[in-house]
Structure 1
Amino acid sequence: MPFDTAQAGWQASTWEFLVRLAANDGSATHCHVARLAAADAVTRNLSDAVHAICAIHGHPPGLAGDAITAAVQPDAADWLDEIAQAFAGERAWIARLAAAAGPLPSTPGQAETEAALIGERHTLEMLARSDRRGCATGAAAALVLDWIAIRAVLERAADRFAVEIPVCRLPIEAETATTVAMLGSTPATERAITFGAQQLLAQHRGLWSLLEARASAREA
């Protein structure tokens, strides 16, 4: 197989792998997300989720902004900037949701929860600032993919707490697919992209499992 053909194959496969990864291991597959996005979601569970998402993704500059500052992959700067600008709007919306949701629901183990959320945010910051070329962009691509499911929860909360739902300005899937194919220009970069994506999704799944445990503790 000619080198150019092989290169095109692995670049395309990088995006296809991320899509499969999000479909199999993303937020949409977690049972607690399904419960939160449902019309009969428990209000205090929605409130808990909004505050947790705010704790992880509600602080500027966010994952994309940190990746831009690190500048490990300069050719990703325009795409990352588009994500960063979109997330500025998402953060403002999440802040309004958190205010409308009121205080955190009383839950056993609050100190441990706060420590876990700080740890998750720190992990995302480390991914964004990684000097491994492709790691931050893989995490950013996974965030764009996974935000669809997370936004479904936020939109359910917005309906419940009477907060207007803004238009999502994140890059469309076709744009992200093209960008990821361009950025994964070598097998080493491809591996870093997939690693960053896997780690981002793992952090999100950890978040939903934590929120599920908190919901069970409140019911007990």
Structure 2
Amino acid sequence: MLFETAQLEPFSGAWGSMGALAGTDGSALHPHLRALRAGALPHRDLADAVHHIARLHGRHPGLIDYATAHARRPVECDWIEAAAEAFVAERAYLVRLVAAAGPLPSTPGHAESEAAAAAQRHALDMLAQSDRAGCATGAAVALAIDWVSIRSVLDRAATSFGLDALPARLPIPEETVSVVDALAREPAHERAMLFGAQQVFAQHRGLWDLLEARASARRRG
């Protein structure tokens, strides 16, 4: 799920733009993610999701790590550094899940899927290394927001694979909302931040579209 509405109600200000973007462009409403989270799809579809999420976000340095070098203002530097530290545990969780999932499920059209996944990873890396002030931070914020939805699939996979789901380290709603609100007081910075976030949400939607297409190909094959 996205940040719960109850978590966000005490906050105001610029969160409105980022919150609205997350609500329309984030992963939470994608039908394939919802089906995975609900346990409505086969084990192999969960395994496929784990492998592809790990390809996007399981390597170091990752999106948030790259973004640390492009933060300029103290408020964003502090948030990104904390997020990068927290994501160390998330990567370790992904490593355990990939091992438990077993091999990547055999899927027709695998070469095309590999190319699409590589392009997604490249796009995320480029966003996180953008020199446009606010863009990399916006990308990192979008990952933190979307990680709630992604984590729900990972936790479903952990249960399915016989592992204990670990407590999530990301996101920290109050801190994320605060940093967005502070940075968005400068219009140019806000525009760049929203652009970075929008592009990350788009890449994540592309991930779920890819996983959905792969699941469909396996059923047909």
Shared fold (TM-score greater than 0.5)? yes
Contact 1:64 1:128 in 2 (8 A): yes
Distance 1:90 1:151 in 2: 9
Contact map agreement 1:72 1:131 (CA 8 A) in 2: no
Q: Who is 2:179 aligned against?
A: 179
Measure how far apart 1:90 and its partner are.
0.5
CA positional deviation for 1:75: 4.0
Q: Do the aligned residues in 1 keep the contact of 2:70 with 2:133 (CA within 8 Å)?
A: no
By percentage of residues, which structure has more helix?
1
3-state secondary structure, aligned to 1:145: helix
Alpha-carbon deviations, 1:101-157, whole Å to 9, x = none?
A: 000111011111111111111111111110100101111111111111111110100
User: 1:97 — aligned with what?
Assistant: 97
CA contact (8 A) 2:22 2:145 kept: yes
2:140, 2:132 → 1: CA distance? 14
Higher mean C-alpha deviation, range 159-168 or range 93-102: 159-168
Query: Cα deviations across residues 3-56 of structure 1 (Å, max 9, x unaligned)?
Result: xxxxxxxxx553211112111221111000011101333100000000000000
d(CA) in 2 for partners of 1:112, 1:74: 42
Cα pair 2:70 2:136 within 8 Å, conserved: no
Q: Which amino acid aligns with 1:30?
A: H
Matched residue, 1:207: 207
* Conservation of the 8 A alpha-carbon contact between 1:37 and 1:153: yes
Alpha-carbon distance in 1 for matches of 2:177, 2:47: 33
Distance in 2, matches of 1:210 and 1:13, equals 35
Contact 1:73 1:134 in 2 (8 A): no
CA contact (8 A) 1:67 1:136 kept: yes
TM-score normalized by the length of structure 2: 0.90
Q: RMSD of the alignment, in Å?
A: 1.3
Q: Which amino acid aligns with 2:76?
A: A
- Could you tell me how far apart the structure 1 residues matched to 2:53 and 2:74 are? 28
Query: Residues 26 and 205 of structure 1 are in contact (CA less than 8 Å); yes or no, is this contact kept in structure 2?
Result: yes
